[in-house]
Amino acid sequence: MKSYLRHFIDGQWTESDGGNLHAVINPATEQPCTEITLGSAADVDKAVAAARKAFDNFSRTSVDERIALLAAIIAEYKARSDDIAEAIATEMGCPISMARTAQVGSGIGHLEAAIAALRQFSFEERIGGNKVIHEPVGVVALITPWNWPMNQITAKVAPALAAGNTMILKPSEEAPGCAAIFAEVMAKAGVPAGVFNLVQGDGLGVGTALSAHPGVDMVSFTGSTRAGIMVAKAAADTVKRVHQELGGKAPNIILEGASLERAVPGGLMAVLINSGQSCIAPTRMLVHGSQYGEAVAIARQVMQATETGDPLTEGRHIGPLVNKAQFDKVQGLIAKAMAEGGKLESGGPGRPDGVETGYFVKPTLFSNITNDMTIAREEIFGPVVTMMPYDSDEEAIQIANDTNYGLSAMVSGDPAKAKAFVPRLRAGMVYVNTGNPDPAVPFGGYKQSGNGREYGKYGLAEFMEVKSVIGEVA
């Protein structure tokens, strides 16, 4: 079992001041695989003090110095990529083949995108005879989830560092190992003491302490909408900036006349990747009534052919869900869909046949779902897809927008026809004929999917304050 019992504070691995031991459970075996110490308010105080002390010097470093530092981080990150992938596969169940590529690779992408954004960013501009200056926010708290751990860590750390801020990272207690390795990467790369601090912990403890801390100038949070609301409330008394990327309930509108052999498998794969544990997963598949029956038949075949398996074994299978709570939630949603009248096309309750251990869920498909059913309203975060028919473009748009979320949407079919749908979909991102997030393109949503944007120059700007200099300036 791996042990990461200390926090990384002020450039040193530091014993916790009053924290509690926490065992991480391997979701494939249901056995402990990692142990950490859940931090305390005293640990948070130490980390914030270190970040505040480091801010004055680091905020005045040059763009070239920060680019060089990011390049050094990339080099050390690549050297530890196998260790990071193994930690992700073991702790949250992502198959090792995908952990080595998409999971680890996303971190490299964000670090490189931060360098590109930093090279192009205009820190000063003239408006008439006056000047506008972009400056670092200060001390920022970064609270990240378990589903794409290095993606979300680097999507925050890289722009925060590029902007000249100092920071405290609280990763998910479900996937802490890769964050501890990342702290080792930061130290080896020569990040100055206090600029990057890591405090392991849970949301109610460390997350709340960081959000409410008067010494923290900004909190950037990725996670559920429920938890995001709690973060915002905790931060309200200190009027700090709160930047959030929250839940999603993405629709996938398959346009009338689309090639179903292309559109249906593509949409399903966008859900099945990472066992459905992605906030942008297009779990609501909308198909024109004239093609609905054929689409359901194709989808059934794809879902039935999808295998589950050991995350540490190479292959194209999907892994388990992250923990028992998530397994129980998804099982409850499957049962609720059946009780409310959804037609089960494949999968269903329980583990896959022959599997007795691990939080594995059968790849599950429902047809005849209506948008008022529970499974069509709540974020699933599992390998479960619902299919709904529509009769007109207007009805498809109405169904797609009928959700509290607005993170992303997908349109599958003729790109020329899809063009008319894009401005009418109330989502921060629209994928046309699938596609992957681009670390240079803004990531974020409308409505209860959060506020602000991450990635590239937009993510860099989120970690900046704007100052007006009015009058006689050289």
Active site positions, annotated: 245, 279
How far is Cα 360 from Cα 355, in angstroms, rounded to an integer? 8
How far is Cα 24 from Cα 148, in angstroms, rounded to an integer? 17
How far is Cα 103 from Cα 98, in angstroms, rounded to an integer? 6
Q: Is 102 helix (H, G, I), strand (E, B) or coil?
A: helix
Task: Label residue 315 left, alpha or beta by phi (over 0 means left) and psi (-120 to 50 means alpha).
Answer: left
How far is Cα 459 from Cα 110, in angstroms, rounded to an integer? 10
Residues 10/197, Cβ–Cβ less than 8 Å? yes
CA 467 to chain centre: 30
Nearest partner of 137 among 115, 114, 167, judged by Cα: 167
Residues 411/421, Cβ–Cβ less than 8 Å? yes
Residues 369/388, Cβ–Cβ less than 8 Å? yes
Residues 283/386, Cβ–Cβ less than 8 Å? yes
- Residue by residue, DSSP assigns 111-160 as HHHHHHHHHH--SEEEETTEEEEEEE--EEEEE--SSSHHHHHHHHHHHH
Residues 421/432, Cβ–Cβ less than 8 Å? no
Residues 268/385, Cβ–Cβ less than 8 Å? yes
Which tokens hold the place of 45?
């105080």
